[in-house]
C-alpha cells in the first residue's frame, strides 16, 4: 500500500466516528506560533519587567485563559514544530541536535499522522500559512537531492513533499527562517516565481532569492493571507489554520510604520508589529462572526533569542524577555522553552482566567482529539496529553509522568511537578556558562531545581537531593526507551540509540 493510500485509509477509519453533521458543530482552530517570542515579551505575562506594549495579546488574554507553565518541546525552531504537528518529541527522530535548513529534506515521515491529517479526516478545512521549517522534498535539475547551496533546485518544478502532503489542504509561506535561503514564497507544491538573484537578510546568509522578495514584507503578507483565508470560510464547515509567524526571529525586519514605536529599539518595535498582526487575525475571526466557537491560540516556538534581540540593551531599559526566568532560546533553563500560551474560546473558556498546570506544545493533537471526541491511532501522538480539562477550569488527567525539555545541543531535561532535572552542567545552549565553560569550572554533572521555591534556577540541589534526581532520571529513561511518554503499547524511536548524557557521560 503506498503512502497516499495509507493516509486515505486512515481518513476513512477516523471519519467513521464523526458524521458531517457533527463536524459542523466542531470549533474552528486558529493556532498562531510566534517565532522566538519570549514569555516576558507579552506585557500581561510580565507586568513588572515587561516594557514592550502588546495590547492585542493582552486583550486576548483578558478574553480567555493564560497558561503560566507552558513549554515548547525544544528550545529551538524545527524540533518544536515537529512536536506540535505530530504530538511526538523530535528527539525520537534523527534530529538529535540543532535545526533544519532551507534546503533540508523533510523531517516528518509521510506515514506519520499529523494534527492536520487528523482534523482533515474529521471534516475540517486545513491550512498552514507562514514559516514551515520542517524540510521539503525539492525538485532538482539533476534528479539528486537539493544541494545545500540550492544550486540544483528547479524553481519551476513540483515540490514532492510539502505541507499539502501532511494533511494541509492549502499552504502559503516560506521554506524556513528569513535568515536561511531560499528567499521565495511557496504556494502548495510550487514556488511562486523563480529565484533569479542572490540576497542576504542576516549576516552572511547569502543565497538564492526571488527578485521581489524582501524580508520586511513577509510578516504582513502572512497576516494578509491568513485573514483572507478566514474570510473565505463558511460557518457550516470547521477549519484549522496553523500560522507559524516569522517574527520576532532575526532578521529584525520592522515595517516603516512600526519603527520607533516601542521606545525599546528594533526588537521592541518588531514585537509590537507581531502583536498587531496577531490582532488583525483575531479581528478577522470576529468580523466573520466566528469568535464564539473558535479556539484561538497564541504561543511561541521557544524563548527569545538573546543576541538578535539585544537582550543586554533591553534589560538596561528594564525589559526582560524571559521575565523572571533564567536563560534564552537554545537553553535547558526556563527562558529557553517556557513560552506564552493564550487561549480564547468564548463558548468554553471563562474570560480573564489563568491555569498554572504544566503543558507542552506536543499536546495539541490529544487536545483536539478530546474536543472532537474521536481517537486517533494509538501509534500516533505518543507524547500528547489533552489540556481540554484546563480550559474548562478542571485538572488535567495525564498518563504522562513528566515533560521532557531539549536544548539546541541535544541536552535533556525532565520536569515533574515542582522538580526539574537537567542532564547538563550549565545552560545546555548558547547562554553563559556554556557546557565547555562549566566543565572548566568543575561544575556538577547535572542540575536539580525546585521550581516552586526557585523558579530562577539558582540553587542546584542535585548533590543534596540525589533520590529526586535518580527518580526523575529513571522516568526520563523509561519515556525514551518505550518510544512514548503516554500510556499505551511501546513504540519504536526512529533511531537505535538516543544519548541522554551529552556533557560528562553518566
DSSP collapsed to 3 states, 415-453: EECCEEEECCCCCCCCCCCCHHHHHHCCCCCCEEEECCC
Q: What is the pLDDT of residue 8?
A: 47
Strands of the sheet with 65-67, listed across from one edge:
190-191, 186-187, 170-174, 125-131, 239-244, 28-34, 294-300, 341-344, 65-67, 353-355
Report the residue count for the chain: 506
Say which DSSP state 478 is in. Answer: H
Mode of pairing for the β-strands spanning 341-344 and 294-300: antiparallel
Query: In this structure, which topology does domain 403-481 adopt according to CATH?
Result: Arylsulfatase, C-terminal domain (3.30.1120)
- The residues, any chain, with a CB within 8 Å of residue 138's CB and separated by 6 or more, are 103, 146, 153, 154, 157, 159, 160
C-alpha dihedral, 12 to 15 to 21 to 26, nearest 10°: -140
Kindly list the domain boundaries of the chain, sorted by start residue: 28-391, 403-481
d(CA 148, CA 49): 42
Written as tens digits, the pLDDT of the chain (506 aa) is 344 444 545 554 554 444 444 677 899 999 999 999 999 999 999 999 999 999 999 999 999 999 999 999 999 999 999 999 999 999 999 999 999 999 999 999 999 999 999 999 999 999 999 999 999 999 999 999 999 999 999 999 999 999 999 999 999 999 999 999 999 999 999 999 999 999 999 988 999 999 999 999 999 999 999 999 999 999 899 999 999 999 999 999 999 999 999 999 999 999 999 999 999 999 999 999 999 999 999 999 999 999 999 999 999 999 999 999 999 999 999 999 999 999 999 999 999 999 999 999 999 999 999 999 999 999 999 999 999 999 999 999 999 999 999 999 999 999 999 999 999 999 999 999 988 888 777 889 999 999 999 999 999 999 999 999 999 999 999 999 999 999 999 999 999 999 999 976 55
What pLDDT shows up at residue 1? 36
Per-residue model confidence (pLDDT) at position 203? 87
pLDDT of residue 437: 87
Q: What's the distance, Cα to Cα, between the start and end of the chain in Å?
A: 44
- 28-391 in CATH: which number? 3.40.720.10
SS3 of 28, please?
Answer: strand
Phi, psi values for residue 359, rounded to 5°: -135, 165
Secondary structure letter of residue 140 according to DSSP: B
3-state helix, strand, coil in the chain (%, to 5): 30, 15, 55
Which one, of 404, 203, 383, 406, lies nearest residue 302 by Cα? 406
Spell out where 301-425 has E strands. Answer: 341-344, 353-355, 359-360, 403-406, 412-416, 419-422
**Residue 21's pLDDT is what?**
43
Kindly state the cell numbers that stand for 53: 506594549
Q: Is 11 exposed, middle or buried (0-12, 13-18, 19+ CB in 10 A)?
A: middle
Q: Look at residues 138, 157, 158, 156 and name the one whose alpha carbon lies nearest to residue 148.
A: 138
Amino acid at each position: 500500500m503506498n503512502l497516499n493510500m495509507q493516509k486515505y485509509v486512515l481518513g476513512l477509519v477516523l471519519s467513521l466516528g464523526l458524521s458531517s453533521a457533527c463536524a459542523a458543530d466542531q470549533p474552528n482552530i486558529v493556532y498562531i506560533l510566534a517565532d522566538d517570542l519570549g514569555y516576558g515579551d507579552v506585557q500581561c505575562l510580565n507586568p513588572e519587567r515587561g516594557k514592550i506594549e502588546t495590547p492585542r495579546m493582552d486583550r486576548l488574554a483578558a478574553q480567555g485563559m493564560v497558561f503560566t507553565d507552558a513549554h515548547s518541546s525544544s528550545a529551538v525552531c524545527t524540533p518544536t514544530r515537529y512536536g506540535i504537528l505530530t504530538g511526538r518529541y523530535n528527539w525520537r527522530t534523527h534530529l538529535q541536535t540543532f535545526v533544519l535548513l532551507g534546503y533540508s529534506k523533510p523531517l516528518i515521515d509521510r506515514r506519520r499522522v499529523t494534527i492536520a491529517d487528523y482534523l482533515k479526516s474529521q471534516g475540517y478545512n486545513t491550512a498552514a500559512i507562514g514559516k514551515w521549517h520542517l524540510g521539503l522534498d525539492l525538485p532538482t535539475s539533476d534528479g539528486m537531492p537539493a544541494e545545500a547551496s540550492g544550486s540544483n533546485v528547479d524553481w519551476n518544478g513540483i515540490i514532492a513533499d510539502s505541507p499539502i502532503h501532511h494533511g494541509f489542504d492549502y499552504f502559503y509561506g516560506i521554506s524556513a527562517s528569513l535568515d536561511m535561503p531560499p528567499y521565495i514564497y511557496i504556494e502548495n507544491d510550487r514556488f511562486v516565481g523563480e529565484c533569479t538573484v542572490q540576497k542576504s537578510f542576516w549576516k552572511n546568509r547569502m543565497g538564492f532569492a526571488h527578485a521581489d522578495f524582501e524580508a520586511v514584507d513577509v510578516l504582513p503578507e502572512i497576516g494578509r493571507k491568513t485573514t483572507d483565508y478566514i474570510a473565505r470560510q463558511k460557518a457550516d464547515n470547521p477549519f484549522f489554520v496553523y500560522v507559524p509567524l516569522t517574527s520576532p526571529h532575526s532578521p529584525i525586519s520592522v515595517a516603516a510604520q512600526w519603527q520607533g514605536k516601542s521606545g525599546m529599539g528594533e526588537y521592541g518595535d518588531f514585537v509590537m508589529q507581531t502583536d498587531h498582526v496577531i490582532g488583525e487575525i483575531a479581528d478577522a475571526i470576529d468580523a466573520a462572526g466566528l469568535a464564539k466557537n473558535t479556539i484561538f491560540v497564541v504561543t511561541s516556538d521557544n524563548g527569545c533569542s538573546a543576541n538578535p534581540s539585544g537582550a543586554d540593551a533591553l534589560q538596561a531599559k528594564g525589559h526582560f524577555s524571559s521575565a523572571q526566568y533564567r536563560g534564552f532560546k537554545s537553553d535547558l533553563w526556563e527562558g529557553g522553552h517556557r513560552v506564552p500560551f493564550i487561549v480564547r474560546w468564548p463558548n468554553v473558556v471563562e474570560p480573564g482566567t489563568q491555569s498554572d498546570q504544566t503543558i507542552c506544545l506536543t499536546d495539541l493533537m490529544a487536545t483536539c482529539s478530546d474536543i472532537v471526541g474521536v481517537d486517533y491511532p494509538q501509534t500516533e501522538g505518543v507524547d500528547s496529553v489533552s489540556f481540554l480539562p484546563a480550559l474548562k477550569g478542571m485538572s488535567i488527567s495525564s498518563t504522562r509522568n513528566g515533560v521532557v525539555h531539549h536544548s539546541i545541543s541535544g541536552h535533556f531535561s525532565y520536569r515533574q511537578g515542582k522538580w526539574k532535572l537537567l542532564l547538563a552542567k550549565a545552560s545546555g545552549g548558547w547562554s553563559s556558562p556554556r557546557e565547555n565553560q562549566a566543565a572548566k569550572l568543575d561544575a556538577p554533572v547535572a542540575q536539580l531545581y525546585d521550581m516552586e521555591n526557585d523558579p530562577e534556577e539558582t540553587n542546584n540541589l542535585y548533590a543534596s537531593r540525589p533520590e529526586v534526581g535518580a527518580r526523575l532520571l529513571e522516568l526520563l529513561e523509561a519515556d525514551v526507551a518505550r518510544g512514548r511518554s503516554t500510556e499505551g503499547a511501546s513504540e519504536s524511536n526512529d533511531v537505535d540509540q538516543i544519548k541522554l548524557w551529552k556533557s560528562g557521560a553518566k
